[in-house]
Structure 1
């Protein structure tokens, strides 16, 4: 009888606590769980609304991401394009008979040994990198072995082609792509991408994408996160051969947004050719009618003089928008004597305050102001665990939606899912951070229910959002290009 009374009493209390969960969901969860556990009835039921941080963040994004009032209709993209051969870096290098030695970076790769040293150097850091391979014959042999390797995959490659391909996923957009388009690449492109006949060539340019997984080991090296090492012997893109075709195509195509990329490919060229082409880039951009924004997508570089020239030789003032990641941002600051330039590399997750300082400096030193006629008013920064959009006030709208959309596509594309799968992603952004390291700034505490944080600094507005990082990424190549394209798709530029 006593046993029956005890069970009945426990059952009644369990029912009562369950009712409290349902009728008073706003009560502190810790109090409810404590009451339940005191009854020793097993795991507490999940109260309504107590979803995981990842689920709450994804739902909040969906509510925030709205279309801009004025959408792009025609987007022109140029000028680097190629075929990406994606393969396991460790397996390919093993098949080439290489073994891991001491990791060491090389600005230019001259041999298989240089390739092995540079690959393990960046694999050990979990950092992305891109290098030029100078020996044509050796590269051709490696490329052929990679292309025929079991499991090798062929994709659209090159920043311009990848951005164009991402834009083409929107059926309402007309997309023009100019670049060295060979037969394999032309076959891979979306039907919605228009390629001028002058862009077609008989042979493809191949880029080899050596991927590695988080935790993957080779000898003494272990990757802290998934990433990739890219290398090529790409002369067409390196000389920006399609720049003139690109510019001449704009008059007939009549775009309302222009996206330019490929300047980093000039690292394998002589200084004289670099200076000449940069001047021609500036002249070409200047010929684009006023009112059509130009976005410049940067990529991994090692030549500080070339980066400094891009910053100072009127390229930055000629474009309205920039897209770049943490490696490119710090290298830019180092090359142009910006904030935190003494930092040799990021120590883990890039400090939000430092990133904010550099973005602010770029817009203040090279962006539009009352005393400067620069067109630069927007920067989209992306790193693995968070994104920041910085804009000069009064020139861009819908940036809250744009930064959220860019972060959302990072999670879906890396996991190869249509929507965010909250079981396959994790929230790794800093839980709190300072908005500046050079000024007092503000301390921000992350709230997954309100994932886009906004702050202001002397006429510049910052929008920050975390990224839901894919735990088992299917493919890392092209994430930055997809992020920039998605952010631009949801952006609205105010007419001048």
Structure 2
């Protein structure tokens, strides 16, 4: 007990010395840190959130060599964002027990799957197989009071985020209908082959932290996404996207939408995945490719992506659900876990990230795989794992991703310390097995780094928005921002 108190006191003194703008901080930190390393919430004008936010602003710097042209594809749509509970009530559905469905075939499947994820506070995305029923639900959603229309689809959202940097030219390839084209940033170039007569619509059912429906109570704010999206479902614009790269000449390619094929059935995705691999392989080897993953449920499909696609991309972005499911599909570390309990353990996350880079990336010196970077994000913290010698400025990249998560969730231009809170443990381990090193987060320098073999890990906390305005697209914004601040090192022989 004495030792734990001493650690907290030493940390408080260290932060006090490092952060001069807050003279009361050492005493305050003793109140913030409990013996188990978790932070409580005393009312104070001078708190950890302010310290971390100020530190980010001083530590985050752009890389020496920046991207000038980024090509993004291939899933794009219009998002209809609506209250999940409100819409289901408007559809005359009653609350009840939850049950996960890999594919939604009815309104009852929708209700059960929504409840299943709402009670866990987890994000998920599903395909709705019945076109007519989906169109009726979509009309009800669009007419629901307070429903809002936004740019949707991982590729379009990443493109929109990248377009906020005036020096970047962004190409977006995907099924772009009239409404989506109208909503896109003027800076985004859309190849003629991407334009189509009708928009694809995705329904985003949001819920707030603590929101209740029947006996179900959401532990945190999140959203459930579903659609009957055929164009994105078969990645119909992938070949158009790859063909457009010769003329556009990008420095970086960002690819997303593979998860959309899962709902089309095994025969289709097996054939289409082979075609996708062939198309991706046609991209020039000196151009790094980032793959953005999303929610999936078919272990065979995830394993196929891991075996066939991951080795031919340079970087991937994913959240805690996708990380654990990837490990379960491939028999990786901690695959026995049914789900994360609370904040995902940093050591267990680190184990899986290392396994990905060793088994499907370049961390194995004998491997010819291209994968050298994994950007992991969860509600409370982010980790960037990179194989040494391939990427630069990754500390700034992971902090920039966390900063944009904090500001975008709250709908503010910059982080507002009064609207966010720290939820990550201040002490954690670098692995769940040996060598198991304990590290301490320093709020005045909120970037913790460690190495395992030839892989370097950069970890930073997230200042979690207390009352998020919109959760959709946060992962895409995080990955996009992290890429903006990343520098790729071309390898000899390219």
Q: Which residue of 2 aligns with 1:117?
A: 112
- Structure 2: which 5+ residue stretches go unaligned? 1-19, 32-43
Find out whether 1:357 has 2:351 as its counterpart. yes
Find out whether 1:194 has 2:160 as its counterpart. no
- 3-state DSSP of counterpart to 1:92: helix
Between the aligned partners of 2:123 and 2:131, the Cα distance in structure 1 is: 23
Between the aligned partners of 1:184 and 1:27, the Cα distance in structure 2 is: 51
Q: Which residue of 2 aligns with 1:414?
A: 409
Choose the corresponding residue for 1:337, options 318, 331, 335. 331
Find out whether 1:377 has 2:372 as its counterpart. yes
CA shift in 2, pair 1:174/1:138, >3 Å: same
Between the aligned partners of 2:215 and 2:204, the Cα distance in structure 1 is: 22
- 3-state DSSP of counterpart to 1:423: helix
Q: Which residue of 2 aligns with 1:319?
A: 313
The CA deviation at 1:150 is: 1.3
Choose the corresponding residue for 1:490, options 480, 485, 490. 485
Between the aligned partners of 1:216 and 1:302, the Cα distance in structure 2 is: 26
The CA deviation at 1:26 is: 9.0
Choose the corresponding residue for 1:207, options 196, 202, 207. 202
The CA deviation at 1:438 is: 2.4
Q: Which residue of 1 aligns with 2:437?
A: 442
Q: Which residue of 1 aligns with 2:5?
A: none
The CA deviation at 1:441 is: 2.2
Q: Which residue of 1 aligns with 2:305?
A: 310
The CA deviation at 1:411 is: 0.5
Between the aligned partners of 1:28 and 1:387, the Cα distance in structure 2 is: 26
Aligned residues: 457
Q: Which residue of 1 aligns with 2:421?
A: 426
- 3-state DSSP of counterpart to 2:417: coil
More displaced 10-residue stretch of structure 1: 122-131 or 362-371 = 362-371
Choose the corresponding residue for 1:328, options 308, 322, 325. 322
Between the aligned partners of 1:205 and 1:271, the Cα distance in structure 2 is: 23
Per-residue Cα deviation, 1:142-188 (whole angstroms, up to 9, x for no partner): 00110111110000000000000100111100000000001111111
Between the aligned partners of 2:50 and 2:169, the Cα distance in structure 1 is: 34
The CA deviation at 1:25 is: 5.4
* Structure with bigger gyration radius: 1
Confirm or deny: 8 A CA contact 2:314 2:371 kept in the other structure: yes
Q: Which residue of 2 aligns with 1:263?
A: 258
The CA deviation at 1:273 is: 1.9
Q: Which residue of 1 aligns with 2:476?
A: 481
Choose the corresponding residue for 2:90, options 92, 95, 107. 95
- 3-state DSSP of counterpart to 1:77: strand
Confirm or deny: 8 A CA contact 2:259 2:294 kept in the other structure: yes
Per-residue Cα deviation, 1:402-447 (whole angstroms, up to 9, x for no partner): 0000000000100110110000000111121111002222111222
Choose the corresponding residue for 2:129, options 116, 131, 134. 134
Choose the corresponding residue for 1:299, options 294, 299, 309. 294
- Structure 1: which 5+ residue stretches go unaligned? 1-21, 34-45
Confirm or deny: 8 A CA contact 2:314 2:372 kept in the other structure: yes
**TM-score w.r.t. structure 2 length?**
0.90
The CA deviation at 1:227 is: 0.1
Per-residue Cα deviation, 1:179-220 (whole angstroms, up to 9, x for no partner): 000111111100011101110111111000000000000000
Between the aligned partners of 1:427 and 1:248, the Cα distance in structure 2 is: 45
Between the aligned partners of 2:26 and 2:198, the Cα distance in structure 1 is: 65
Choose the corresponding residue for 1:279, options 274, 278, 299. 274
Per-residue Cα deviation, 1:299-337 (whole angstroms, up to 9, x for no partner): 000111110000112x11100000000000000000011
- 3-state DSSP of counterpart to 1:324: strand
Between the aligned partners of 2:24 and 2:305, the Cα distance in structure 1 is: 54
Q: Which residue of 1 aligns with 2:73?
A: 78
Find out whether 1:347 has 2:347 as its counterpart. no
Find out whether 1:290 has 2:285 as its counterpart. yes
Between the aligned partners of 2:140 and 2:23, the Cα distance in structure 1 is: 61
Q: Which residue of 2 aligns with 1:253?
A: 248
Between the aligned partners of 2:23 and 2:211, the Cα distance in structure 1 is: 44
